[in-house]
Chains A and B, each alone.
Chain A
Amino acid sequence: MPHLNELYRVAARLLGDTTRAEDVVQEAYLQAWKSFHRFAPGTNCRAWLFKILINTIHHYRRKWLNPRLVTDSEETLEQTAAAAPPIPEHITEEEILRALDRVPADYRTAVLLADVEEFSYKEIAAMLNVPIGTVMSRLSRGRRILREQLSELAQSYGIGRAGEEGRGA
């Protein structure tokens, strides 16, 4: 089936649960099958499938997840994401995924779609049903939060606590 693996991986990262990711991917393909008549030939099938996946995830997130896990306010994030701390030289994939999972869902979605799946801002805006400016804003903040989460790893390794140039309290 086309793009199944990509859809599953994004779903798993957005939901943080592989079983639910399987359910959501299955549901997304069922939805795609039912609404295939709405797919415009010649357009990007992969983007269309991802849009269905994102909608399905939003639906299931409302059903499954505790609302506090869904998103933080952008104002709060603005305050907490103001630094660009050092990131460990050697980070494992598991550490990156753990840091990614700590990025609030809306920003994590933008980061995954742009930096991993390499969709354009315009395609992401259509998938998320938000303006392109919102996509850019979420992406910028999502990347910054990801780096911040990775920097916490650095601090846990004892990196950057002393002698860092250009840093202060």
Chain B
Amino acid sequence: MNVIRFEDAACGKVRGYLDSYLSNELRVETNHEVLRHLESCPRCAAELSVRARVRTGLQAAVRGTSVPDGLEGRVQRAVRAQNRRTRAGLYTMAVAAILIIGLAIVSLRRAKTGPEEAILAKASGRLALVLNVGLRDHLHCAVFRKYDKAVVQLSPEFADLARLIQARLAGDFRIIQGHRCTAGGRQYVHLIVTHGDKLLSLILTRKRSGESLSGGVFQEGVDHFQVVGFESHDYLVYVISDLDAQQNLQLAANIAPAVREYLAAHAG
């Protein structure tokens, strides 16, 4: 190890200040003390010169380091890419928030409106709107309305219809209700039929502008309900039940001629 033997304690003290002197960081009194010493001590003056030379050389060497040509462009691209990712992230978060709020609203609506609306909401995505028209009345009037299924309530005006339909049904199908009803602001003629623990509806409602099932017989299932729809004499006709799809379609096929006969006679 090399060891300096300073001339005296003053040199040691001043040399401890030299770097700060170069950086102009000394207090005024200390600065004067260093200056006075340097004027009288060529060794410390030489040491100051060396340190100044190292400092200057260091600055020149580091500041002279070449910077890669493409660095600025690379950094700018990275910042822009991050900017886009952040915006995409914010957009995703916004969409997620909207979805969550939407789901919450749907849940609240279902909670408020009960199972009828919940089934209809589910059905709207799977059933053509025109089939949903019949399902709405079935749910509203036959499924969720409180009434005594043991009591037959058949409006006299639908006695002919009931007789025609009953003639097309097997003996264990029983017409328990025949009435006019309203659901969702729309009027229906509604026969409710039971088959053991199964519940069926024959529903007729006058077509509105744009509604059409003239292409034939349509069937769709939603939840545990099967909906068959067809058209006759400006009426939409629905057979809806909790039978399986094949049974429900067969039932609709059986009663369709009776419905057409009735409407031919009564529709005006």
Contacts and interface: CB of A to CB of B under 8 A. Distances in A.
A138 interface: no
Contact of B82 (A22, A33, A94): A33
A85 to B, nearest CB: 5
A87 B50 CA distance: 7
A79 B74 CA distance: 44
Nearest to A19: B68
A54 interface: no
Contacts of A79: 1
A146 B62 contact: no
Contacts of A51: none
Interface stretch (B52-60, B99-107, B193-201, B256-264): B52-60
Contacts of A8: 65, 67-68, 71
Contact of A4 (B7, B54, B75, B78): B75
A128 interface: no
A115 B55 contact: yes
B47 interface: yes
Provide the main secondary structure of the chain A interface.
helix
Given A22-B68, A33-B82, A84-B15, A116 B58 contact: yes
A118 to B, nearest CB: 8
B86 to A, nearest CB: 8
Nearest to A28: B75
B interface, over-half SS: helix
B54 A146 contact: yes
A168 B58 contact: no
A55 interface: no
Interface residues of A, number: 48
B67 A5 contact: yes
Contacts, number: 111
A167 interface: yes
Nearest to B18: A143
Interface string A115-132: 110100100000000000
Contacts of A85: 2
B214 interface: no
Interface string A64-107: 00000000000000011011111100010110110010000000
A86 B43 CA distance: 12
A7 to B, nearest CB: 10
A18 interface: yes
Contact of A33 (B43, B53, B54, B83): B83
Contacts of A15: none
A10 B5 contact: no
B6 A26 contact: no
B62 A1 contact: no
A29 B79 contact: yes
26 contacts: A1-B72, A4-B72, A4-B75, A10-B62, A13-B65, A25-B71, A26-B75, A29-B75, A29-B78, A30-B82, A34-B82, A34-B86, A83-B1, A84-B15, A85-B2, A87-B50, A87-B54, A97-B65, A116-B63, A146-B58, A166-B4, A166-B43, A167-B3, A167-B4, A168-B3, A169-B3
Listed from nearest, the 8 A-B pairs whose CB atoms lie closest are: A83-B2, A93-B61, A96-B61, A9-B65, A116-B62, A5-B67, A26-B75, A96-B57
Given A83-B4, A93-B61, A116-B59, 9 more contacts: A4-B72, A8-B68, A9-B67, A25-B71, A30-B82, A84-B47, A91-B57, A143-B54, A167-B5
